Amino acid sequence: MRVLVVNAGSSSVKLALLDGDDTVLAARELPAPHARVDPGALRDALGSLGAADAVGHRVVHGGTRFRAAVRVDAEVERALRELADLAPLHQEKSLAALAAVSAVLPGVPAVACFDTAFHATIPEAAATYALPEDWRRRWALRRYGFHGLSHAWIARTVTAPRVVSCHLGAGASLCAIRHGRSVDTTMGFTPLEGLVMATRSGSVDPGLVLWLQEHHGVAARELAEALDHRSGLLGLAGTADLREILERAGDGDARAVLARDVYLHRLRAGIAAMTAALGGLDALVFTGGAGERAASVRAATARGLTFLGVAIDPDKNAAAGGDADISAAGAPVHTHVVTAREDREIARQVRELLEG
- Report whether 291 contacts 337 (CB < 8 A): yes
Q: Name, in order, each residue with C-beta under 8 angstroms of 346's C-beta and a sequence gap of 6 or more.
A: 3, 5, 7, 56, 57, 58, 113, 149
**Does the annotation mark 115 as catalytic?**
yes
List the beta strands (DSSP E) in the chain. Answer: 3-8, 12-18, 24-31, 54-59, 70-71, 110-114, 162-168, 172-178, 181-185, 283-287, 324-325, 334-337
d(CA 284, CA 139): 35
d(CA 20, CA 39): 28
Tell me which residue of 281, 268, 289, 285 sits closest to 325, measured CA to CA: 285
3-state secondary structure (DSSP) of residue 282? coil
Q: Which value, to the nearest 10 degrees, does the dihedral of the CA atoms of residues 115, 119, 120, 125 take? A: -150
Q: How many CB atoms lie within 10 A of CB 201?
A: 22
d(CA 14, CA 7): 5
Q: Which of 19, 44, 53, 115 is catalytic?
A: 115
Q: Find residue 29's DSSP bridge partners.
A: 14
d(CA 294, CA 296): 5
Would you give the end-to-end CA distance of the chain in angstroms? 12
Residues with active-site annotation: 115
